Structure formats: C-alpha cells, structure tokens
Amino acid sequence: MTMINFLEAVKHQLHQFVEIGHSKPVHLMQNQLINDIYHAIDHNQMVMLTSNQKTYKGYINHYDRERQAIFIEQDKIISMIELDEIKRLKIISQRG
C-alpha cells in the first residue's frame, strides 16, 4: 500500500465518521439498525428516529424487507421511512 492510498483510506474513514457518526462499514451499521428495529418491534418499545427530514417518536409498526423501509406510528399517524434515510434510531421505553 502506498502512502497516498493509505491517506485516501484514512480520509475516507474520517469522511464516513463525520457523515454517519461512526466508522463501521455501512453494511454492518445497516445490520445493526435492522437488529435494533426487530428488537423494538418484538419488545414493543418506543423509539426516537431521526431521518433526513424529520424526527419521529413512536412505535415501529413493522419492517418491510422488500421496500427496505419501516413504518412508524406517531400520534395515530403511520409514516414510512426508508432505511437509507434513517440517521439515528434510539430505543426509549417499553409500551405498558
């Protein structure tokens, strides 16, 4: 590996860190996101989700594998958010 390639790799990792908050490879982050989604669904947990356009606080209704999207219920309104639009997902609490 030449020094230039090494510097480019470091610059790429730094860019990834700034853009998405960590330096994990994208496919591993997406797997973790999907695991968190299923966990929230299975345990009926409220989530706070930040997408490109909006922040949602509610319950994940279901995950559509074919569309690569989730449906989240907030104030009796269901919204569809594609996985690649999700910037952050945080589990808040469990439904009573």
For the chain, give every domain's residue range: 24-94
Q: What is the pTM of this model?
A: 0.65
List the one residue out of 30, 23, 22 whose CA is nearest residue 63. Answer: 30
CATH number for the segment(s) 24-94: 2.30.30.520
**What is the separation of C-alpha 35 from the centre of its chain, rounded to a whole number of angstroms?**
10
Compute the C-alpha angle 46/26/19, nearest 5°. Answer: 80
Q: What is the pLDDT along the chain (96 residues), one digit of tens a residue?
A: 445 566 666 666 655 555 544 445 555 667 888 889 999 999 889 999 999 889 999 999 999 989 999 999 999 999 999 998 999 999 887 655
Question: Residue 91 in 3-state DSSP?
Answer: strand
The one-letter amino acid at 2: T
Tokens of 22: 């960590």
Tokens of 25: 């490879």
